[in-house]
Structure 1
């Protein structure tokens, strides 16, 4: 098999054009573009040096088979296949391929473990700390906002000062640059106001509009957020592993348990599809049946 180096990879003009479309026209994040680049590089390394006209279904199956041999998880393999499928479709739309050979290759079956969440008491323990230092106030505001608004990790680190609206709401930019407005709860608003009083006294190194800053006065990174969350979980004697996603899932679970409003939770989380919300909130058939019985005009009891 012919190896494809990074230098060789950038020579694929069609790939370069495809990545530009994703960046400029679809406005995908730099993180997503990086993932697409790595996955396409891996696919081309497996396939070898061919012209696009030669691409066929067997070659795509080879990508899946080799990825399994490399020990990739089903989820990672499916991500790689999805990226390659999108790229092939781009080639079809530009008349560089007569058909999409990746469409005929099935995704690998993967288990979908339900996300874990903290119950209300555990969440109260996690957030029950007082630290008047800049980092302590920042962390308190950061964690209260993540849980109070159900934010993705990337959404939290991308927040700007201007995203805190005069109405008391939060403007959040989610996947695909889609924006949504989320109300800020009482606890989060209080923690945020204390942090902002200190944030005004700090001069950022580069990104002056960044909401959450590191010790170096730069925009806080996703890894730094995860590390601080781990620190506070251990400090508050919560012995289970807690990730930023745990706070988002706990938010969704607690709001749904209280409101029974699946569509409302979908809007708050910024999910494009209701099915995604169902996975996050581990809905069972019984609850769905209750929603149906109460909502559908042909099911309502008189």
Structure 2
């Protein structure tokens, strides 16, 4: 399996032009899954064939990720790594069926944006002094407040 992963990593680097950090994350995610599959199958990692990884085993991996209390975004990234790997294997005709086709990503958390209360916003807008730069800053703050512009968190 390591040879297939190495081939996939080369594909990500050379053909897909992924960044080094992205490639490193994909490789780490794949190795994490291999370690899980190896323990469940009681098979050395080197002897695992892609054909033995089925939907049941992948659901077990998903359950393991959730038991480890990983964030939903991390779980989604790990599944995306495996989804890309199996798509690569399927497109290169190295496997006959893609077991990831029926795997859904966990729903992402929807977080509300942080905001200032009315009194806090008023204090912020009124904070600049009466100098030309202060008036400019106040105009910018009023513009940002009036348009509802948010700072990404």
Provide the rounded CA distance (Å) in 2 between the counterparts of 1:76 and 1:46. Answer: 16
Deviations 1:142-193 (A, max 9, x none): xxxxxxxxxxxxxxxxxxxxxxxxxxxxxxxxxxxxxxxxxxxxxxxxxxxx
Paired position in structure 2 for 1:257: 147
Q: Does 1:16 align with 2:3?
A: no
How far has the Cα of 1:62 moved from its partner? 1.3
Conserved in 2, the CA contact under 8 Å of 1:19 and 1:33?
A: yes
How far has the Cα of 1:258 moved from its partner? 7.9
Q: Which runs of 5+ in 1 are unaligned?
A: 1-10, 126-253, 260-279, 282-302
Kindly report the root-mean-square deviation, in angstroms, between the aligned alpha carbons of the 2 structures: 3.1
How far has the Cα of 1:257 moved from its partner? 2.6
1:66-81 matched pairs, under 5 angstroms: 66-81=64-79
Paired position in structure 1 for 2:25: 35
Provide the rounded CA distance (Å) in 2 between the counterparts of 1:104 and 1:86. Answer: 14
Higher-Rg structure is: 2
Given the superposition, is the C-alpha separation of residues 111 and 30 from structure 1 closer, same or farther in structure 2, using an over 3 Å criterion?
A: same
Provide the rounded CA distance (Å) in 1 between the counterparts of 2:13 and 2:114. Answer: 33
Q: Which of 57, 62, 74 is the matching residue for 1:59?
A: 57
Deviations 1:180-236 (A, max 9, x none): xxxxxxxxxxxxxxxxxxxxxxxxxxxxxxxxxxxxxxxxxxxxxxxxxxxxxxxxx
How far has the Cα of 1:112 moved from its partner? 2.0
Q: TM-score, normalization: structure 1?
A: 0.36
How far has the Cα of 1:83 moved from its partner? 0.9
Provide the rounded CA distance (Å) in 1 between the counterparts of 2:93 and 2:85. Answer: 13
1:136-147 matched pairs, under 5 angstroms: none
Provide the rounded CA distance (Å) in 1 between the counterparts of 2:59 and 2:148. Answer: 46
How far has the Cα of 1:64 moved from its partner? 0.2
Q: Which has the higher contact order (CA 8 A, sep 6+)?
A: 2
How far has the Cα of 1:116 moved from its partner? 4.2
Q: Which runs of 4+ in 1 moved over 4 A?
A: 115-119
Paired position in structure 2 for 1:101: 99
Provide the rounded CA distance (Å) in 2 between the counterparts of 1:83 and 1:114. Answer: 28
Q: Give the paired residue count.
A: 123
How far has the Cα of 1:117 moved from its partner? 7.0
Q: TM-score, normalization: structure 2?
A: 0.68
Q: Which runs of 5+ in 2 are unaligned?
A: 39-44, 129-143
Tell me the secondary structure at the aligned position of residue 98 of structure 1: coil
